[in-house]
Amino acid sequence: METPTERDAGALRRVVIEGLRPAVEGGLVKRTVGEPLVVEADVFGDGHDVVAASLLLLAPGTERWREVPMEPLGNDRWAGTATVAELGTWWYAVRGWVDRFATWRRGTLRKLADGQDVGVELAEGAVLAAAAAERAAEPVATTLRAVATGFRDGDTAVLVDDDPGFATTMTRLAERADATTTTPLELLADRPRARFSAWYELFPRSAGAKSKHGTLSDVEDLLPYVAGMGFDVLYLPPIHPIGTTHRKGPNNSLTPGRKDVGSPWAIGSAEGGHDAVHPALGTDADVAHLAIAAARLGVDLALDLAFQCSPDHPWVTEHPCWFRHRADGSVQYAENPPKKYEDIYPIDFETEDRDGLWSALLDVVLHWVDLGVITFRVDNPHTKPFAFWRWLLAEVRLRHPEVIFLSEAFTRPRVLEALAKVGFDQSYTYFTWREEPWELEQYFTELTQTDLVEYLRPNVWPNTPDILPEHLQTGGPAMFPIRAVLAATLAASWGIYGPAFELGEHRPRAPGGEEYLDSEKYQLRSWNLRSKTSIAPLLTRLNAVRAAHPALQQDRTLRFHPVDGDDLLCYSKRSPDGTDVVLCVVTTQSAEPRTGVVHLDLAELGVHEDQPFELHDLLDDRRYTWQGPDAYVALDPATQPAHIFEVVRPNAVATR
């Protein structure tokens, strides 16, 4: 039989730590630089001794843990707060221990209050103070030795005066040999743009004059247009050479003409692969120049990261083992039965040359980062191993912690979430297909009020080059402003595929499908950016409102308010400090006017129930005065599909 000293030392520790939050099973917690990290845990021990707890933090590139005292919340729940001050990977843990000084102090004060003799207790206090002095640096050590001497002489002044500095010092210097410490958890600290961003996607080859193949220089000419609308990320689909084998023609046809340009996602030709620029678009130097020009306007240049190859990609002949071969010896092209993508070879991540493949893909990312690209939209990450992404993202951030990755994972929820856990900074969502008020409320409550908020940052898009949802096909011109308002205010990060979106492109290739007619994926398009029907002015206003209101720059405070009325959605957001509150009422259908009564949770808005408050509509600059929780609203999608109110609170109350 084993003796107690032979048992696991953890079995002898008296403090238990449970219910630590935030914690992501198998993944990373995420914050942006400057955001607070609030850590809570149940910390308790046996008996009646006083327990203390602290939050431990290890900053990127350091070896010394920093300690932040945790405060009791009641019922053995503790909380500690720290600010994430620099980019990179942090680690955090919670430590709990029996605070012998605090236990002694509490008991001694009670005995003093009861008039008991505390001579022995003071002698014990002297031992504790002297031991703490041995662990302290000067001049604290000298002070503690003087306290110990005072205790031996029967001096209770330090106790009676309830000196908080002395108590804090003794807790900080407490003996921790028997402390319980949780397993360290990983935290990713990103640039603020990972939390708050507005993306604009365009095809560079359609940026030229009519019928002319565009260039990266033409894209640079469009930067004032993009930045002028308030978008701070310009995202380009693949800019690499395009294969000719099985090249797709207009509308995804299998019979391209001699001048057809093919799909940018069929990457690679004799002119190069993933680290090359299509000659018709420009050169590496043009990419670097575009990134610099964008940065001057406060815009990040984002590139598509699509790890797949055309049959003409150099890797197909240089590294045949990186591709899966069928029984007849041919390479397996991409399929999603019954769909076939004959112009694309998927990469075989089960190759025996895993090290060579993974290193080559890492080199691709680093190549573009070296040219100034610090943001990537990743195509179909759910078709590659989670282990690969965990490794790649960590390797890139080790060298360049400023890089941001957006996951295009239109897939099953658990898979989407797993990709966020392994390190993707942002994630596409199912917003594109959520139409009814109850669907939107249910989905965004899940995104913002569950553990998802700790690791999955939603980036919501009304459309993409692959997805023209039915409501944009059939909802008429008014549906585009509706979906823009919803996307821009429900989530801190949003994006559009333009100019198709602002110009109201709504024609499907076939009824019941989501492919665009004459899709830019397969042919050049020419867009009239000066069209009088463009909703670019609305997009500009939406992004200006977002930039001016911290409430809209995060997702954690999104709250929905009940509405009596069909097709109306009401929700609010407030800044973390509660000083900025935005209230939105939006119609979700575009056919006819809608009316209803909203029932506001006034505590969420920080207003008194018995006092009037002003609402400033940030879309049309009108002002309204409301009082009480209930208010009548009327919205006409043809003229005013939404209210975006700033809540003006002359006598604000504390928000929850």
521: tokens are: 């994926």
Between strands 88-98 and 180-181, the pairing is antiparallel
168 within domain boundaries: yes
Rounded-to-integer distance, Cα 96 and Cα 181, Å = 6
512 within domain boundaries: no
pLDDT of residue 175: 84
Stretch among 4-13, 296-305, 415-424, 510-519 having the lowest mean pLDDT:
4-13
Kindly report whether the peptide bond that precedes residue 650 is cis, defined as omega within 30 degrees of 0. no
Q: Confirm if 584 and 615 have CB atoms less than 8 A apart.
A: no
Q: Which residues contact 212 (CB under 8 A, 6 or more apart)?
A: none
Backbone angles phi, psi at 360, to 5 degrees: -65, -40
Look at residue 653 and tell me whether its pLDDT is greater than 70: no
User: What single-letter DSSP state applies at residue 85?
Assistant: -
3-state secondary structure of 43: strand
- Between CA 578 and CA 581, with CA 579 as vertex, the angle to 5 degrees is 80
Q: What is the domain-level CATH number for residue 120?
A: 2.60.40.10
118 within domain boundaries: yes
Rounded-to-integer distance, Cα 271 and Cα 312, Å = 9
Between strands 613-617 and 642-648, the pairing is antiparallel
Which of 40, 379, 520, 646 is catalytic? The answer is 379
135 within domain boundaries: yes
Query: Residues 91-150: pLDDT tens digits?
Result: 999 999 999 988 999 999 999 889 999 999 999 999 999 999 999 999 999 999 999 999
Query: Which residue, 618, 587, 622, 584, is CA-closest to 604?
Result: 584
Range of the domain at 63: 4-189
Q: Give rounded-to-5 percent helix, strand, coil for the chain.
A: 30, 25, 40
Instruction: With residue 289 as reference, give the H or E element that holds it.
Output: helix 284-296
Q: What is the mean pLDDT of the chain?
A: 94
Backbone angles phi, psi at 339, to 5 degrees: -70, 145
Q: For residue 4, name the pLDDT band (cuts at 50, 70, 90).
A: very low
Q: Confirm if 94 and 182 have CB atoms less than 8 A apart.
A: yes
Between strands 308-309 and 568-574, the pairing is unpaired
Q: For residue 210, name the pLDDT band (cuts at 50, 70, 90).
A: confident
pLDDT of residue 652: 56
Query: Residues 355-382: pLDDT tens digits?
Result: 999 999 999 999 999 999 999 999 999 9
Which of 121, 218, 304, 408 is catalytic? The answer is 408
Rounded-to-integer distance, Cα 469 and Cα 513, Å = 8
pLDDT of residue 2: 43
Rounded-to-integer distance, Cα 190 and Cα 267, Å = 30
Query: Which residue, 276, 296, 298, 271, is CA-closest to 287?
Result: 276
Identity of the residue numbered 45: G
Q: Confirm if 348 and 323 have CB atoms less than 8 A apart.
A: yes
Q: Would you call 379 a catalytic residue per the annotation? A: yes
70 within domain boundaries: yes
Look at residue 3 and tell me whether its pLDDT is greater than 50: no
Look at residue 423 and tell me whether its pLDDT is greater than 90: yes
Q: Which residues contact 591 (CB under 8 A, 6 or more apart)?
A: 475, 476, 637
Q: Would you call 604 a catalytic residue per the annotation? A: no
Q: Confirm if 493 and 457 have CB atoms less than 8 A apart.
A: yes
What DSSP letter does each residue of 584-619 carry, written as one string? EEEES--SS-EEEEEE--HHHHT--TTS-EEEEETT
Rounded-to-integer distance, Cα 147 and Cα 157, Å = 10
Backbone angles phi, psi at 643, to 5 degrees: -110, 130
Q: Which residues contact 299 (CB under 8 A, 6 or more apart)?
A: 223, 226, 227, 231, 232, 233, 234
Look at residue 455 and tell me whether its pLDDT is greater than 50: yes
Query: Which residue, 43, 33, 39, is CA-closest to 55?
Result: 39
Look at residue 655 and tell me whether its pLDDT is greater than 60: no
Query: Residues 173-209: pLDDT tens digits?
Result: 888 878 999 999 999 999 999 999 999 999 999 999 8
Beta strands in 244-314 (DSSP E): 300-305, 308-309
Which residue in this structure is represented by tokens 């909203």?
598
Stretch among 152-161, 232-241, 555-564 having the lowest mean pLDDT:
152-161
Look at residue 1 and tell me whether its pLDDT is greater than 80: no
Q: Which residues contact 272 (CB under 8 A, 6 or more apart)?
A: 240, 241, 314
Query: Residues 499-545: pLDDT tens digits?
Result: 999 999 999 999 999 999 999 999 999 999 999 999 999 999 999 99
- Residue 206 burial by CB count (10 A; 0-12/13-18/19+): exposed, middle or buried? buried
Instruction: With residue 481 as reference, give the H or E element that holds it.
Output: helix 479-490
Angle between helices 479-490 and 536-548 (to 10 degrees): 20
Q: For residue 156, name the pLDDT band (cuts at 50, 70, 90).
A: confident
Choose between 157 and 637: higher pLDDT.
Answer: 637
pLDDT of residue 288: 98
146 within domain boundaries: yes
Domain count of the fold of the chain? 1
Rounded-to-integer distance, Cα 505 and Cα 529, Å = 13
Rounded-to-integer distance, Cα 551 and Cα 93, Å = 30
Query: Which residue, 304, 299, 345, is CA-closest to 325?
Result: 345
Identity of the residue numbered 212: K
Backbone angles phi, psi at 280, to 5 degrees: -70, -20
Query: Which residue, 513, 463, 523, is CA-closest to 251?
Result: 523
Look at residue 6 and tell me whether its pLDDT is greater than 50: no
Residue range 444-466: mean pLDDT, rounded: 98
CA atoms within 13 A on the CB side of 14: 15
Look at residue 9 and tell me whether its pLDDT is greater than 60: no
Query: Residues 263-315: pLDDT tens digits?
Result: 999 999 999 999 999 999 999 999 999 999 999 999 999 999 999 999 999 99
Handedness of CA 603, 608, 610, 614 (dihedral sign): negative
Q: Confirm if 239 and 264 have CB atoms less than 8 A apart.
A: yes
Backbone angles phi, psi at 205, to 5 degrees: -70, -10
Query: Residues 301-353: pLDDT tens digits?
Result: 999 999 999 999 999 999 999 999 988 888 888 877 776 788 999 999 999 99
Rounded-to-integer distance, Cα 121 and Cα 283, Å = 80
- Torsion, Cα 481 486 491 497, to 10 degrees, reads -40
Between strands 15-21 and 180-181, the pairing is unpaired
Above pLDDT 90, what percent of the chain? 86
Q: Say what the pTM is.
A: 0.93
626 within domain boundaries: no
274 within domain boundaries: no
Q: Provide the residue count of the chain.
A: 656
Query: Which residue, 94, 285, 281, 88, is CA-closest to 190?
Result: 88
